[in-house]
Chains A and B, each alone.
Chain A
Amino acid sequence: MKWPRHRDRAILAATPLVVVAAWACHHDTRLFVAATLNGVTLAALYFLVASGFALIFGLMRNVNLAHGSLYLLGAYVGYTVGDQTGSWYLGVVAGALGAAVLGVVLQVSVFRFMPGQELRQALVTVAISVVLADLMMWVWGADIYQLDPPEWMYGSSVLPIVQHYPTYRLILLVLAVAVGGGLWLLLNRTRIGMMIRAGVDDRMMLAATGVNMQFVFAVTFAIGAGLAGFAGVIGGSALSISPGEDTRYLLASLIVVVVGGLGSVAGTAVGALLIGLSEQYGLAYAPTYGVLFTFLIMVATLFYRPQGIFGGR
């Protein structure tokens, strides 16, 4: 019977936002629509990175603070392969595979030995991310890299109201929707997905039914890390690759997951959408203080719904 109170509160919070949005839309429709599109497409990128993070946490209670490093490694590997072979598609595959392999290696050689020890895992992953950051700088230097997607993705598409809009960002959106859908299907319609979900709910019980937990863990880590690497190549083509991107995307993933709620695909999507939109509205209307919006959302979430918008527990 709590629903009416929730609804009141939601209406109370939404009204000023709607008024502001209506004003912004009336003031300059093109800018408002463009900023909204930019927010949604940026959210697509955040979703790609954060979904792997949320998946790994959901199953293993493992806050993998090296997730950003997997993103950056995927991007670098993708660039190198793309540059050598001349095929962007091969780069995407290589980036995702490279990160997935590293993810499995980390799981098998490190995390396997510290199940359930959250603090230790967090510290170890921070250490790994620092080591990886330096190793990557050693191999690829501090130069700025940009992957170029195939020609047909590069230019701009004609859309109503905003006129020219970068095609690649639209593709980003399509990819995120596809990955989100695929992830949902994997978790809800396949045997391994069933095991992962069962593991999320009760690990001991799942192990007792004879499932090889180590295998489930390794697969989950591979998928999560692979998604990070995939996002690295996709994001590196939309924006750029350089040292420091690892912590940037780790932070983005953390915020998205905190806001959206841990361990749910829908939560991650909503969290990514909120953060992406707030960043872009910020840049369009108040560039200097735009960063604040993100953290205001985070503070409000932690205050009113500490488990995240879609968080179960």
Chain B
Amino acid sequence: MDGTSKMLRRSLLGTAILLGCTAAASAQQELKVGLVASLEGAFAVLGQDAVRGAELALKERGGVAGGKKIVFVRGSSDASPASAVNATRKLVEQDKVALMIGPLSGSEGVAVKDYAKTQPAVTFIDGSSGGQETTLVNPSPNFFRFNLDGAQVMAPLGPYAFEQGSKRVMVIAEDYAFPYSQVQGFMSGFCKAGGKVPRKAWIPIGTKDFSSVIASIPNDVDSLLVVLAGADAVNFIKQYDQAGGSKKVIGGSVMVDQTVLSYRGRFRSNLVGTLSSGWTADALETPAWEKFVADYRASSKEAFTAPSYFAFAYYNAVKATLNALDQVGGDLSDGQAKFRKVLAATQLQSPVGLITLDHNRQAVGPAFITKIVQRPDGKLVSSVVKAVPKIDQHLNMSKAEFDKMGIGSRDVPACP
């Protein structure tokens, strides 16, 4: 009897100490924020830069927002939807984060949005995933995205490429949500202008040997639309060069990104002049952008010549989140209702211009048609050809017109 009560007392004491510790910890007012990026697999280089962007945004505020010390709890995916959901689930359910930032890649975003529906108490802010479906089809009320989707940023390029003499284009793209969106964005305007896309090759992510795809390019196309990322893109460029390819290459948004242009190897002159369209341009000459580039370059020794899209998108996501936290004074009570209301009304002054959210909590903001140039120091950068200040998720078309076209997929749209 005595033994039992002694033990009871001991465990009570233990609990009290434990509780005391927890109380002390919360007295420091820490707020855990989950951060998921692809730090392994084919997109690892993209994920590393994404983390640089996220940390830059936090550093700018001295690590504090809404009176609380913000602590990132990191998770990593390998760019597959399942791995992104696993990493997110771990952060939400085990580490009990209040807010989630991520994931990085298109199909991951769709999967994490579906998971977000099962966790209404947590607010999810997209990292850099650009699949159209994520916010357009069955959007989740606690999922916010501050970057344009893949179709939005490519929409201005279609008509422009047609004007520049690309009439028949073959598509070579990775087979998942983000390239579907990119190709749709391009084709929506391109087909309307009278262009033709006789053949599309959808290739599994992680393909390194493109030689047979290159051999299958028909003779009667004048250009290629290549939507590949990371190591896949670098391999395609080299092999196309080696095979003596001479058709004009139009790049997807992440094809002309610094994650690709900064690879360690011989300079490929056939990249210069490549047209593309994206969220940013390396050589955008505005003070806000130049400041961002300088801050980014100072933030890490391994930083690229200019921030990649992924650094930019994660930076924006974190910045918008911290701004909103400040505005509500760190108040996440009532199912984070107040915080979400402020977040949805955000007017984000991003390094490239104003970004706002629509009724699906999807970004509306600027896009840039770009061209690759070689700087005097030999580095490849993208320069601005044309800026479009504002483009919405219906690609600035009416809803009826957009719905007629449908969500981008392997077969939508088509103009063979």
Chain A residues with CB under 8 Å of chain B are 30-31, 34-35, 38-39, 41-42, 79, 83, 133, 137, 141-148, 154-156, 162, 164-166, 168-169, 239-240, 242-245, 248, 279-281, 283-285, 287-288, 290-291
Contact = CB atoms under 8 A, between A and B. Distances in A.
Contacts of B208: 239-240, 245, 248
A143 B45 contact: yes
A146 B410 contact: no
Given A240-B238, A244-B42, A284-B216, 6 more contacts: A34-B211, A141-B45, A240-B263, A244-B231, A245-B208, A281-B212
B175 A288 contact: yes
Interface in B165-193: 175
A168 B234 contact: no
A141 B201 CA distance: 31
B44 interface: yes
Interface in B219-251: 230-231, 234-235, 238-239, 242-244
A20 to B, nearest CB: 16
Interface string B15-57: 0000000000000000000000001111011011000000000
B211 A166 contact: yes
Nearest to B208: A239
Contacts of A279: 209
A41 B262 CA distance: 28
B215 interface: yes
A280 B215 CA distance: 10
Contact of A166 (B39, B42, B203, B243): B243
Contact of B266 (A137, A143, A148, A155): A148
Nearest to B217: A31
- A-B pairs, 3 with minimum CB distance: A146-B265, A142-B44, A34-B215
Contacts of B211: 34, 38, 41-42, 166, 169, 280
Given A144-B231, A242-B45, A242-B231, A35 B212 contact: yes
A146 B263 contact: yes
B202 interface: yes
A171 to B, nearest CB: 12
B258 to A, nearest CB: 11
B264 interface: yes
Contact of B42 (A137, A155, A242): A242
Contact of B213 (A42, A146, A283): A283
Contacts of A35: 212, 215-216
Interface of B: 39-42, 44-45, 47-48, 78, 175, 201-204, 206-213, 215-216, 230-231, 234-235, 238-239, 242-244, 259-260, 262-266, 302, 410
B210 A283 contact: yes
A145 B212 contact: no
A242 B44 contact: yes
Contacts of A38: 209, 211-212, 215
A95 to B, nearest CB: 16
B213 A144 contact: no
Given A31-B215, A244-B40, A244-B78, A280 B242 contact: no
Contacts of A41: 211
Nearest to B239: A166
16 contacts: A35-B212, A38-B212, A137-B44, A145-B263, A146-B238, A146-B263, A146-B266, A166-B243, A239-B208, A242-B42, A243-B40, A245-B208, A279-B209, A287-B202, A287-B204, A288-B410
A235 to B, nearest CB: 9
A176 B302 CA distance: 37
B39 A142 contact: yes
Contacts of A169: 211
Contacts, number: 129
A180 to B, nearest CB: 20
Contacts of B234: 144, 146, 240
Contact of A143 (B203, B212, B242, B262): B262
Contacts of B230: 144, 242
A262 to B, nearest CB: 25
Contacts of A30: 215
A75 to B, nearest CB: 12
A177 B244 CA distance: 26
B41 A244 contact: yes
Contact of A42 (B41, B78, B209, B215): B209
A287 B203 contact: yes
A30 B219 CA distance: 12
Contacts of A143: 45, 262-264
Contacts of A142: 39, 44-45, 47-48
A83 B264 CA distance: 10
A280 B47 contact: no
B207 A283 contact: yes
A156 B410 contact: no
A141 B49 CA distance: 11
B264 A145 contact: yes
Contacts of B39: 142
B265 A145 contact: yes
A144 B263 contact: yes
Considering residues A31, A83, A146, A165, which has the most beta carbons from chain B within 10 angstroms of its beta carbon?
A146
Given A144-B231, A146-B234, A283 B203 contact: yes
A20 B405 CA distance: 36
B122 to A, nearest CB: 28
Contacts of A144: 45, 230-231, 234, 259-260, 263-265
B43 to A, nearest CB: 9
A168 B74 CA distance: 41
B119 to A, nearest CB: 29
Contact of A239 (B235, B243, B410): B235
